[in-house]
Amino acid sequence: MDVRRRQPIGVELVRRGIVSESDIDQALEYQRKHPTMRLGDILYVLKVCDPETLISAIGEILGEKGIILKPYDLKVNITDYISLEVAKSNKVIPFELENGKIKVCFSETINNKSMETVRLLMLNKGLIMESYITFESDIQKYLKSAEGSASENLELSNQGNSITELIDNIIKTGMEKRASDIHIEPMENFVRIRYRIDGELFNAAEVSKDKQLQMIGRLKAISNMHQEKQDSQDGRILLYEDYNIRVSSQKNVYGEKFVLRLLKKDSDIKNIFELGFPGEQDKLKRSINKKNSMTIMAAPTGEGKTTTLYSIIDYLNKPEINITTIEDPVEIRIDGLNQIEIDKKITFSESLRTVLRQDPDIILVGEIRDKETAEIAVQAGQTGHYVLSTIHTINSVEVITRLRKMGLSDYDIASTLATTISQRLVRKLCPHCKKERKFTKEEIDIIKKIGKQYNKEFDLKDEITYDAIGCKECNNTGYLDRMGIFEILDITDDIKELIMNGASSIEIRRRALEENYEPLIIDGISKVIDGKTNLAELNKKLLIY
């Protein structure tokens, strides 16, 4: 029932005598007010004809089997075969299993990408998918009833008319659910509340539209923002003892949207190996703690660069070492460190100049954003200091390209850069509900192909992997917490020479692979084989199939 097909479907439904032309006109008028709805779903809502006849006819037009799902049709547990996250994003429900075939209901069947995603997931479980089509509202209804606590509505009915209690309840519930961010978003007819948990967004509640202005007023008041100003603003909420909450507002077509970043004060810093850093102590020591040099963490936004840097700093932190950090903002306070928080009045480069006069041994620069900061960081590395920082690139080799584009000379890069580390965050399988199974032939072929590409032999003797199922412990997602997958590029003498000679990133990568550099995918596959995550989650980050 794709929106692109609505006119041919309408014409065909009239031709078959299922609906009249006036019914189509009424549906098109309804669609002007609800432009995201498809014609078939609108005819269903308007009740212009028998639903069974309507969906059966639409199914025939689209070459699929149309069905009205009833509660007794759902003969399998949805989360036994597909995570709620995937079910919601693809608007799909598996509902019956018979003789190795699983019946799956879609809200549209023209979206080949969506169907292929689900087909592969089922194939990975050794099942052949048989597709059906139904109305989106019915799929949403059944998915909502299947959602776990991460997507249950807040008990707003118990909050009375107090906006103060409402906002407090939204924030405290986010803390309880381990949310990193809370999204408070004005929609056309309501205010949507969403939580980001382990990197994924979940719907949490819909608040009535008449409370929107009061909610905005309360959020601005506790964030120390200007009440009258509707342009973008930044603020902080300091009302909660254990949290420093950063607040950002942005006007959209339905009002002002707020995003609250929940930063836990004095939270425990995870050991670098708990984060998923590959190898043993010896490998870590070779990669970090080098004087007269610089280590750079590389990854896109939100992939845990800062968390890993904190773990490295914690590993290096000793009474006899003077460690200074320059951050925006200071997210975790660590005993024994001199932590500097920059603001609008002072930049990273200005702070770094001052820090160099403070007799530091190790300097952490939150991010290298420009040529000036990069040059001072290099200068620090060349004068006896160990500098750690982050940069936005896709992998560890491209750090060299990024520094070149900032204006650093090949000599400065080669003489100072010691190690680049790239990472991505993947969700860990929930230990309480993950379900063991054998790798499928298709999955084994994928792993072997990757191993052959990078001359890596994976140990698949047990051929065991796990599916994400879902339980109360993991909010019915099948995943609990996240870990890093890493690649580490040590700048050896050969690679220094390539940099000095202006070699491209392709040439540097080729040489690094000859020196046992292992890209992200290798660490990712190793963690799949170890049962910590699965190929479906890894594919979301690295697109391996």
Q: Quick one: pLDDT band at residue 341, thresholds 50, 70, 90?
A: confident
Eight-class DSSP state of 453: H
- Angle at the Cα of 63 from the Cα atoms of 58 and 69, rounded to 5 degrees: 55
Q: Do 468 and 501 touch, CB atoms closer than 8 A? A: no
Neighbour tally for 178: CB within 10 Å? 16
Q: Do 312 and 288 touch, CB atoms closer than 8 A? A: yes
The radius of gyration of the chain from alpha carbons, rounded to an integer in Å, stands at 27
Neighbour tally for 391: CB within 10 Å? 20
**DSSP run (H or E) holding 168:** helix 163-176
Q: Which residues contact 463 (CB under 8 A, 6 or more apart)?
A: 438, 439, 444
User: Which pLDDT tens digit goes with each residue over 270-322?
Assistant: 888 888 888 777 778 777 866 789 999 999 888 988 889 888 888 888 889 89
The fraction of the chain above a pLDDT of 70, given in percent, is: 94
Residue 329: pLDDT over 90: no
Give backbone dihedrals phi and psi of 458, rounded to 5 degrees, phi first: -90, 140
Residue 115: pLDDT over 60: yes
Higher pLDDT, 513 or 87: 513
Residue 437: pLDDT over 80: yes
The neighbouring-strand residues paired with 128 are 101
Q: Which residues contact 344 (CB under 8 A, 6 or more apart)?
A: none
CA distance 543 to 536: 9
Strand stretches in 328-412, DSSP E: 338-341, 362-365, 386-391
Q: What is the dihedral of CA 303, 306, 307, 313, to 10 degrees?
A: 150
3-class SS letters over 63-127: CCEECCCCHHHCCCCHHHCCCHHHHHHHCEEEEEEECCEEEEEECCCCCHHHHHHHHHHHHHCCC
70 token code pair: 């009833």
**DSSP run (H or E) holding 420:** strand 417-429
Name the amino acid, one letter, at 241. E
Q: What's the confidence (pLDDT) of residue 250?
A: 95
Residue 212: pLDDT over 90: yes
Q: Max alpha carbon distance in the chain (Å)? A: 86
Mean pLDDT, the chain, rounded, equals: 86
CA distance 219 to 237: 9
**Of 413, 376, 390, the residue nearest 495 (C-alpha):** 413
161 token code pair: 């008319």
Q: Which residues contact 141 (CB under 8 A, 6 or more apart)?
A: none
Q: What's the confidence (pLDDT) of residue 111?
A: 65
Q: Mean pLDDT, to the nearest integer, of 425-451? A: 92
| CATH no. of 149-264 | 3.30.450.90
Q: Do 256 and 217 touch, CB atoms closer than 8 A? A: no
**Of 391, 420, 401, 396, the residue nearest 505 (C-alpha):** 401
Q: Mean pLDDT, to the nearest integer, of 463-480? A: 85
Q: Domain 281-542 is classified in which CATH homologous superfamily? A: P-loop containing nucleotide triphosphate hydrolases (3.40.50.300)
Name the amino acid, one letter, at 55. I
- Angle at the Cα of 5 from the Cα atoms of 3 and 8, rounded to 5 degrees: 135
* Residue ranges matching CATH 3.40.50.300 in the chain: 281-542
DSSP-derived secondary structure for 195-238:
EEETTEEEEEEEEEGGGHHHHHHHHHHHHT--SS--S-EEEEE-
Eight-class DSSP state of 346: B
Q: Do 42 and 30 touch, CB atoms closer than 8 A? A: yes
**Of 543, 418, 535, the residue nearest 488 (C-alpha):** 418
Q: What is the dihedral of CA 448, 83, 474, 432, to 10 degrees?
A: -60
CA distance 459 to 495: 30
Strand stretches in 374-416, DSSP E: 386-391
Q: Mean pLDDT, to the nearest integer, of 163-175? A: 90
CA distance 94 to 76: 7
Q: Quick one: pLDDT band at residue 161, thresholds 50, 70, 90?
A: low
Name the amino acid, one letter, at 75. K
CA distance 203 to 439: 32
Q: Do 469 and 536 touch, CB atoms closer than 8 A? A: no
By CB atoms closer than 10 A (0-12, 13-18, 19+), residue 143 is middle
Residue 32: pLDDT over 70: yes
Q: Do 193 and 183 touch, CB atoms closer than 8 A? A: yes
The fraction of the chain above a pLDDT of 90, given in percent, is: 41
Neighbour tally for 17: CB within 10 Å? 10
Q: What's the confidence (pLDDT) of residue 524?
A: 96
* Residue ranges matching CATH 3.30.450.90 in the chain: 149-264
